Structure 1
């Protein structure tokens, strides 16, 4: 958000910021797509309190700092967290008929009307800075944590010592409350997976948040059979089967939204371990820009997904966001003029107007068999969850040669290695060269928390190490890190974004593929024609304050 001219004049005339420093911050805000007020604060050009008072003066409302205020549960109940986040508003005080409201944008009439309708009270408007507001949102999370701890403690006591068969244990009210609370807390914490791990002396619950596992709580071992039974009941699995792995799925309602959970149960030495993958059904596919595709990479992808036939391959290790990228591309291509069919393992999200098939190898429905059947359904665009073998590779090539656009994934470390991998599966070089249009290699890195991001100067030892990855001119840039706050669970990171390596197959590249050259030769040719290496894209995002250099190196070197 850029500032109105009048507000700029107020800030400049205040004398706190020099004109050249202000202009530099404006340029950075445009380049990074960030709020100008955030840039001014992050660079230390002006204190948050002083800037808040100047902006409040412009809006002609009082300024409020929420950093030291404890907002009560009663106040937070006036406005749901979702609405507070959407409108960027927070109640911090009230009288009998008036609520004091902190707003990032005091001119937002829609937000004002919402609060009046929701509370039936008069409102006093105050201005709050963006970082201060984001940090104050942690009050909602604190209340969730307190409620989570209280419910777990109360119901664990009630459930311990109860006996009965598995069905009885799984239907026990305290056990139901414990599992429901864990699921609700996982969603509130933005977890992608929930791990229930039975050990010799503890029953550990862990969440995977932003790609990293975190210990959440430890339950008494005695409650393990009841939790397992409850999940099996919900997933319609065999309750009395404890010797073999089982997979299932169930839905869970939180407020007005349904959450789908994919269940994997695996027998271990001390008992059955469970992993739940959370699949929010209301999640919309992200735009390519939101995924982290920018500049040349974004242009390459946009140009190639509009081609009527050929193959687009997305590559990377498990958990690198390949399926999310494919779903985003499908969402762009999903118009009334085309028919889209997919073969997946498993189908993670339902897409309207798309014919999605889940493979079932036990019944003979493999990727290759599913792809062969789909070709008789007159598709324009086909997505194959993964190309694992020669038969699937040959079917994918055949599909693209017969006028279809084929999207799929492979497991390789970089874009250039995808070509030799395809050839190693037995595909003919001239067919691979004539069908593959684009290869996208990717990883996911954690994003810096915008509430606690700060600049720092690396030590001489760190700078010496960074010379291996950065140009000399880049070593004088600002470096960013997250110091940790309530909003990000004191991790310094919140959310994830992709880093990419996009290889477009041109004529010179096709000649190399036919000659079956090495991945190294393909890489050199691609860089010569403008491909941005994975590490370079990550470093650009780190220098831009989106992630950190340490995080980029962590995922690229895995």
Structure 2
């Protein structure tokens, strides 16, 4: 009987990380225990626990074991070789056959040092094995492309060695525990990095769950939470919605401003999932227990949550700090009761150390020149307008950074401090203090530049105008649709025409639109109806739309860009303001000075192939 071909004997990675002081002896011991408990490879456990990153693993494999590391795409996979290995073996070992040349089969593995797996592969294929490393998520995604999605049972998200989410050790119960015990099962993980959380659950590919289970296993619940959170982060979602419906709970991600469905949870899963998120956010669950409900109950029909009435139901809030791929993040959790149970919104706050300058915002060349000229004047009010989620805060902080200078004192008053500047005095608004009162108090601190997060009413508007009139530079935002509309909006807040004309320097209005996916964009010819709605004639310009691909999750869009209006208060416009001019007269004066509207800026980006005409139409009012 012939022996299977010999395989290479790779070198383990534990010593590699110890020698380079990437991990401590204590962390290695924890990883070894975790590996034994959950049946993982050592590298998987190190990544799962947050002690090393996936990039660290790549370097370890390159330097310690000299394994090739590839970026796995569908074009590298031979269906013949993959099918020869078979779906059952491929999914069980989490490997993918790539090609077969001169008696050697190249196989992608998440752990090329797994000697037993290599020997089994060599025996099945009767060839020598050339192991290469590929990201586990890429292996699983390509397995689904080759063999299709598993049909019989929906697997709990696999333990791809992605960077951990948020530090938690889960003590597995001998039998499924009720939802209320999940909070008590969550305990701090010894030896983990400070202020970093890791969700540790049952990671084996053989663990399968179905939505029909009445009481899901706790470890499977944590794996499910880990799975959809990591998917959301990988897709760059800004919000994660868990919405209670009559039959189930739907999970949706807001990506590039649009919601897309990710998955659905049955009643039993929804209660456990909500309890897990409450535990991570350290939200007090006593109110649930006082009403005789398990934490997260109210979705199974036994503890129906009364629908809100009047001004709306109270919302419970908390937060979960964590690290994803070496990036410090925070999940802000807002929970509210609805007709069929509790619904959650998880808002992702990214601590981006790179603050955009004015030149990086995406302003047109003429708009940038106008804005910089306005900012060169001493004092005055600068406003940024647009709806929530339009990027106003990013623009405000770019303006603040532009005005920063060693001889100036800058103060920023905000409800939440998300962007910190080194030379700015950041002040968090007391929730029991009105913005106007807070601003008055800060004026005693003798600022040269003052930033207020938003004008929330007449009192705040008057305080800011008086501050700007005294020679200070003042930055703030207003929720109106456009730059010209900002002028009429201020008049409605009771700002006198003379004060408006004398104090206001510039208004920036903005919107965010989705970008065409560069991987699947294709030229289109807009029909006459669309051109009419957008107000332009056929001019031979090329326009593009995305057809939908894996990179954009079938949406045709990837990323967003900003559209801008920059309205500088010129002498002609100041004259109209002093006369108390209305919207039409103000718009006419602005156009005479070269004012570019949001729609015109959007059509410029559409002609450049950066966004679609439908996005421009949806985001901009017609001038």
Please give the alpha-carbon distance, in whole angstroms, between the structure 2 residues aligned to 1:382 and 1:141: 51
Q: 1:214 to 1:464 in 2, by over 3 A?
A: closer
Aligned to 2:550: 486
Please give the alpha-carbon distance, in whole angstroms, between the structure 1 residues aligned to 2:425 and 2:220: 41
Aligned to 1:230: 276
What does residue range 435-454 of structure 1 map to in structure 2 within 5 Å? 435-454=503-522
What does residue range 123-522 of structure 1 map to in structure 2 within 5 Å? 139=138, 142=141, 150-152=155-157, 162-165=178-181, 167-168=183-184, 172-241=218-287, 244-361=314-431, 363=432, 365-458=433-526, 462-472=527-537, 475-522=539-586
- Cα-to-partner distance string for 1:317-339 (whole Å, 9 max, x where unaligned): 12211112112222333444433
Q: Quick check: 2:415–2:429 contact (8 Å CA) kept in 1?
A: yes
What count of residue pairs does the alignment treat as equivalent? 432
Q: Give the CA deviation at 1:556.
A: 1.6
Aligned to 2:124: none
Secondary structure of the structure 2 residue equivalent to 1:488: coil
- Cα-to-partner distance string for 1:343-401 (whole Å, 9 max, x where unaligned): 2233333443332233344x2x2211121122122322211111011110011011112
- Cα-to-partner distance string for 1:228-270 (whole Å, 9 max, x where unaligned): 2333333333222357312222311123221012222111112
Please give the alpha-carbon distance, in whole angstroms, between the structure 2 residues aligned to 1:297 and 1:71: 52
Structure 1 or 2, whichever has the larger Rg, is 2
Aligned to 1:68: 75
- Cα-to-partner distance string for 1:74-113 (whole Å, 9 max, x where unaligned): xxxxxxxxxxxxxxxxxx9999xxxx9xxxxxxxxxxxxx
- Cα-to-partner distance string for 1:171-217 (whole Å, 9 max, x where unaligned): 75443333233222211101011111111111111100000000001
Please give the alpha-carbon distance, in whole angstroms, between the structure 2 residues aligned to 1:219 and 1:449: 30
Please give the alpha-carbon distance, in whole angstroms, between the structure 1 residues aligned to 2:261 and 2:139: 21
Q: Quick check: 1:71–1:139 contact (8 Å CA) kept in 2?
A: no
Please give the alpha-carbon distance, in whole angstroms, between the structure 1 residues aligned to 2:174 and 2:265: 13
Please give the alpha-carbon distance, in whole angstroms, between the structure 1 residues aligned to 2:371 and 2:143: 41
Q: Give the CA deviation at 1:292.
A: 2.1
Secondary structure of the structure 1 residue equivalent to 2:551: helix
Please give the alpha-carbon distance, in whole angstroms, between the structure 2 residues aligned to 1:231 and 1:289: 40
Q: Quick check: 2:179–2:272 contact (8 Å CA) kept in 1?
A: no
Asked if 1:525 corresponds to 2:589, the answer is yes
Please give the alpha-carbon distance, in whole angstroms, between the structure 2 residues aligned to 1:418 and 1:307: 21
Q: Quick check: 1:261–1:277 contact (8 Å CA) kept in 2?
A: yes
Structure 2: 5+ residue runs without aligned partners? 1-70, 80-97, 107-134, 160-169, 188-217, 289-312
Q: 1:303 to 1:183 in 2, by over 3 A?
A: farther
Q: Quick check: 1:447–1:497 contact (8 Å CA) kept in 2?
A: yes
**Going by fraction, where is helix more abundant, 1 or 2?**
1
Q: Quick check: 1:200–1:270 contact (8 Å CA) kept in 2?
A: yes
Q: Which has the higher relative contact order, 1 or 2, with Cα contacts under 8 A spaced 6 or more apart? A: 1
Please give the alpha-carbon distance, in whole angstroms, between the structure 2 residues aligned to 1:141 and 1:299: 50
Q: Quick check: 1:160–1:222 contact (8 Å CA) kept in 2?
A: no
Q: Quick check: 2:333–2:345 contact (8 Å CA) kept in 1?
A: yes
Aligned to 2:620: 556
Please give the alpha-carbon distance, in whole angstroms, between the structure 2 residues aligned to 1:175 and 1:271: 18
Q: 1:279 to 1:71 in 2, by over 3 A?
A: farther
Please give the alpha-carbon distance, in whole angstroms, between the structure 2 residues aligned to 1:539 and 1:228: 44
Q: Give the CA deviation at 1:422.
A: 0.9
Q: 1:188 to 1:465 in 2, by over 3 A?
A: closer
Q: Quick check: 1:198–1:221 contact (8 Å CA) kept in 2?
A: no
Q: Give the CA deviation at 1:170.
A: 6.4
Please give the alpha-carbon distance, in whole angstroms, between the structure 2 residues aligned to 1:280 and 1:420: 35
Q: Give the CA deviation at 1:301.
A: 1.9
TM-score between the two structures when normalised by the length of structure 2? 0.63
CA RMSD of aligned residues (A): 3.6
Q: 1:351 to 1:203 in 2, by over 3 A?
A: farther
Aligned to 1:8: none
TM-score between the two structures when normalised by the length of structure 1? 0.70
Please give the alpha-carbon distance, in whole angstroms, between the structure 1 residues aligned to 2:175 and 2:223: 10
Structure 1: 5+ residue runs without aligned partners? 1-63, 73-91, 101-135
Q: Quick check: 2:332–2:346 contact (8 Å CA) kept in 1?
A: yes
Q: 1:352 to 1:218 in 2, by over 3 A?
A: farther
Q: 1:522 to 1:188 in 2, by over 3 A?
A: same
Please give the alpha-carbon distance, in whole angstroms, between the structure 2 residues aligned to 1:452 and 1:186: 22
Q: 1:163 to 1:534 in 2, by over 3 A?
A: closer
Q: 1:245 to 1:166 in 2, by over 3 A?
A: farther
Q: Quick check: 1:169–1:229 contact (8 Å CA) kept in 2?
A: no
Secondary structure of the structure 1 residue equivalent to 2:447: coil
